[in-house]
Amino acid sequence: MHDLTALEQAAALHNGDLTSVELVEHHLRRIEALDSTLGAFVTVTPDAALVAAAAADVALRAGDPRPLLGIPTAIKDLAVTAGVRTRFGSPVYAEYVPDIDDDAARLLREAGTISLGKTATPEFGLPPYTEPAGRPPAVTPWDVTRLAGGSSGGAGAATAGRLVAFAHGTDGGGSIRIPAAVCGLVGLKTTRGLVSRGPAGGDPLGMSVSGPIARTVADAAAMLDVLAQSVPGEPYPLLARPAETYLAAARRAEPRTLRIGRYATPPVPDVVVDPACLAAYEKTSVLLAELGHEVVEFDPGLTPALLPMFETLWAVLAHGYPVPPEAEPLLAPLTRWWRDRGSAISGPEYMAATQEAITMTRTVVGAQAAAGLDVVLTPMLAQLPRPVGWFTAGGDPAQDYERQKAFTPFTATYNLSGQPALSLPVGWGREGDSPELPVSVQLVGLAGSDALLLELGAQLEVAAGWLGLRPPV
């Protein structure tokens, strides 16, 4: 059952070939058997999941048409869930049980999907790796000595390890795309305002968004159809939405001839891109041209001011989770480092950074529009999946952050601009005596073009020949 995609599971349920209880029990057994290795879950909710599955089976027998009714999934532990412990990756919130749902969790529940629990995240979602205090690290099923990325690392490990067919994630600086890349999955950072971060989530600039992590583009599109609902009160509502479903776009997989710009020079100074990441980028460029698209070189116009401006905003956002003074010693060294930096930033400095971010957004989006580009192609990461403990080795948070920049220099730009960005596995790489590791590219669209990215992603998914491959775990 676990090798079925989410849509294949849905078809089996609606055809009566499987029951939701059977699916949920099967995946709970996999969690029990494998999660001590993968580090995907911080909370498992078997009793609630089985009750929901039994109710889904009753609804299915009555002809309930909801497409994803009865399918197991999981919610990232940065999203609040009513009655289910939400830790935000921190011992400060070890016993916190919210009384409300994040809109993404609510929408998935109303669609009939069944959460098996909460997936691991680093403290407050700050770094691009997932090694929460006192818990096993989230690792990629392709090589369990290497990290699953972050901050949706648990969601990536759970999906790639077949503990669920797809999972919810959030992305404030690459946190959906990075785990998708190192786990060989599809991950969509949605357009700012397409998916609600309410009622308690989000940030003032809307850098952090919710979106899907899945094994196939079609599964990601099916989850997005559930999540992409207008919610009153959203600060950045996306008013223009496609007339068709996202799944219909992914299933069509025949986008018009697109003009695609590409660049592989990192916007972070002195970062060297691994040859395997460049090879995947070049391979994708060739595939796109063979599919009939026009591929051209592109300069996004990014300046050295991008990084310090992002760091100012990120340091202030590290204060987005209240921490009582007496609990400060419980925080991870990296979290304290970011929060100390944020505390030193004045209100005028923060305002200046937000204004710079808006100006930069106009520059990035304007350059893409002026060049007549439908999509931009970049490497997804600058390095292959990193070993467990690689970022934190030595215990110096500043050095930890330097390693983060060297690992993922291409992602945060598009959190600032609010554009949709898709991580797509297209190739393989090795490092030393490692097994073959997944390598991905990033496709970036203009605001609201999530459907186009999914359509192009589905076309590339077939051309790259990734479908059906299974990790050793």
Q: What pairing do the DSSP bridges indicate for beta strands 437-445 and 375-379?
A: antiparallel
Q: Which amino acid is at 28?
A: L
Alpha carbon distance 330, 134 (integer Å) = 11
Q: Is the dihedral of CA 83, 155, 390, 341 positive or negative?
A: negative
Q: How many CB atoms lie within 10 A of CB 471?
A: 16
Q: Is the dihedral of CA 100, 106, 110, 113 positive or negative?
A: negative
Q: How far is CA 243 from the centre of its chain?
A: 25
Alpha carbon distance 318, 305 (integer Å) = 20
Alpha carbon distance 424, 112 (integer Å) = 27
- Positions annotated as catalytic residues are 76, 151, 175
Alpha carbon distance 172, 315 (integer Å) = 13
DSSP 3-state of 429: strand
Measure the CA dihedral 255/256/262/268, to 10°. -50
- For residue 376, CA distances in Å to 180, 294, 360, 364, 407 come to 18, 11, 17, 11, 20
Could you give the residue ranges of the DSSP H alpha helices within 201-346? 217-227, 246-252, 275-290, 306-317, 333-343
Alpha carbon distance 466, 208 (integer Å) = 29
Please return the burial class of 90, using the count of CB atoms within 10 Å of its CB with bins 0-12, 13-18 and 19+: buried
Q: Which residues contact 351 (CB under 8 A, 6 or more apart)?
A: none
- For residue 337, CA distances in Å to 244, 311, 341 come to 46, 12, 6
DSSP 3-state of 262: strand
CA angle 50, 54, 56 (to 5 degrees): 110
Q: What is the DSSP string of 369-386?
A: HHTT-SEEEEES-SSSPP
Alpha carbon distance 88, 80 (integer Å) = 9
DSSP code for 48: H
